[in-house]
Structures are given as structure tokens and as C-alpha cells.
Amino acid sequence: MSADRLEARAWLVDKPAGPTSHDIVREIRRRLPRGTKVGHAGTLDPFATGLLVILVGRATRLADRISARAKTYRATVRLGARSVTGDPEGPITPGGPIPGRPAVFAALDAIATRTSQRVPLYSAVRVDGQRLYEHARRGEEVATPEREIRILGLEPVQFRPAAAELTLDLEVTKGTYVRQVAVDLGELLGCGAYCQALRRTAVGRLRVDDAVAPDLVPYTDPVPLTSLLANMPTLVAAPADARALVHGRQVDFAAEPGELAVLSDRGELVAITASDGERLRPLSVFIDPEQL
């Protein structure tokens, strides 16, 4: 399999618990031609499972656009205990007695309206030039930054007081730490809590139901790049215009101002462009001239 054939490809992968997102990328890179660029669109913690969008070659240029979309999760929250990391990796210490259903559901309503969140101490966010988890592992006290977030949906699926478990479905904006949502819920209830299990079920309209195991990449068909574009308007360009865009030139084309995806006459993604109403300017190119 040549490197040329792997330009601008994408796979939806169902990440298992254990490896980091970077581990999955490294594993896939080893199976591709030397020098092939591989990335992902949105990190999952090692304990988490679910949808990881793998991007190869020029498709990595879509990473920021995809990772900016809302993400959907199913989370299992363990009540009555606290974890230093907010997840099963711990250390874990006992918490307090678990309140009844009315108090739990009232706390969920309060959590759902929050518009900011403290970044967990055990995270990769940099403070004073170093990752927060590096400060934490050295026992250093450091103020964690606060982020604006939105919880677009928060629905209880199952509350099992005897098992001290609460299962939730959440839809959140980029940068929201679901394990911190669990921690904040526990502190609001006074009993403590952490995220015991986490599964990402969707990134925008992309679904884990359509994903494959990591070891099947690149041996299964990639997803069409057009499926990664969400609601971006598209147009089919004449071959001459497509070649001009690939070479970095603007082309005359009347369209609503904004970003548009340009496709070849075979339906392949050629470029993402910016329209000023009269011309298209290429922002990112996804195909080689000889492929047109």
C-alpha cells in the first residue's frame, strides 16, 4: 500500500479502555507507509472507550474542525467515594453517605446549568509551561484554570443506590471534562463521586455504531471525507476550477459568503474554501493535482 493512496483518509475507531489516544495513533501509524501523517480529533482518557476519529495524511487538516463539535457520552458515576484523578485510576478514598433520589436529581439539574468548569489537576493542560499532571505528580499546589463550557444535554439513565452508581447520558461542548462533571456532582451532594466508566458515543453526527476496532485500520474502507464536514455547504467544481484551487489559486464563483467544501466531479473532497460572494479562496486542500 503506497503513501499516495493513503493521502486524506479517515476512520472511525472504537477505542478500548487502557491505551491512550496517542497509543492508538502510534499503533495505526506502524501499519502505514513510513512518513504517513496520522492524528486524531479529540483525546479520550485511557480509562475511556468509544469514538476516536482517526485522520491520515491531509485529512489531519480537519482535526480542529471535528474536535470543535459537541460530543456525546455515557458515563457511569460512582457515588460515595472520591478519586484524586476523578476516574478509576485513583487513588480512591471513601466519601460520605449517598443522598436519596430527589437530592441526586436536583443536583443534576444544578450541574446541567453550569457554564464554567475547573480543569482537573490531572490533565494535560499547561500551567507555567508544564502539564498539570506533572505538577500534581510532584505534589505541587497549583491553581487550575477555569473554562467556559456548556452542557447541552444531561439525562439520568439509571440510579442504583445499592450499587452506589449513577448512569448518565451527556452532550457537552469542546473542552468539557466529564470526569470533572462527576467530581462536581459528588461535591454538590456532599458524598463525593468520580467517573467510573466513560464511553464516547458521538462526535457531532459521527457515531460509534459506525466505528471499527483499531486493529482493522487501514484494512477496512475509510469513511468518506464528506461525512466529516457536518453541515458545511458543498459544491461540485469544474475540473479547471478544481485544479486551480489545488494549486492555491482563487477562482471566480458566485456563492453565499462563508466556508464551502468543493468536490470533484467524482465526489471527492478537493478543498475547503472561503467565499467572499464572488470568489473562492482555498483554505485547505485534500487532493493532489494528478488525482483530478
Taken in order of first residue, the domains within the chain and their CATH numbers are: 4-69+205-227 (3.30.2350.10), 71-203 (3.30.2350.10), 232-291 (2.30.130.10)
Give the model's pLDDT for residue 250.
95
Q: Is the pTM here over 0.95, yes or no?
A: no
Asked if 288 is an active-site residue, the reply is no
- Per-residue pLDDT tens digits of the chain, which is 292 residues long: 444 445 799 999 999 999 999 999 999 999 999 999 999 999 999 999 999 999 999 999 999 999 999 999 999 999 999 998 999 998 999 999 999 999 999 999 999 999 998 877 666 666 666 666 665 566 666 667 778 999 999 999 999 999 999 999 999 999 899 999 999 999 999 999 999 999 999 999 999 999 999 999 999 999 999 999 988 999 999 999 999 999 999 999 988 899 999 999 889 999 999 999 999 999 999 998 877 7
Q: What is the pLDDT of residue 165?
A: 97
Instruction: Give phi and psi for 105, each to the nearest 5.
Output: -70, -30
pLDDT of residue 3: 43
In order of 67, 149, 237, 265, 280, the CA distances from 243 in angstroms are 29, 41, 9, 12, 13
pLDDT value at residue 4: 40
Amino acid 288: pLDDT: 85
Q: Say what the pLDDT of residue 118 is.
A: 80
Count Cβ atoms within 10 A of the Cβ of residue 255 and give its class: 0-12 exposed, 13-18 middle, 19 or more buried.
middle
What's the angle, vertex CA 164, arms to CA 161 and CA 165, rounded to 5? 95
Strand order in the sheet with 279-285: 234-236, 258-263, 269-275, 279-285, 251-252
Would you say 125 and 131 are in contact if contact means Cβ atoms under 8 Å apart? yes
Q: Which of 45, 87, 184, 241 is catalytic?
A: 45
Question: Is 79 within 8 Å of 164 (Cβ atoms)?
Answer: yes
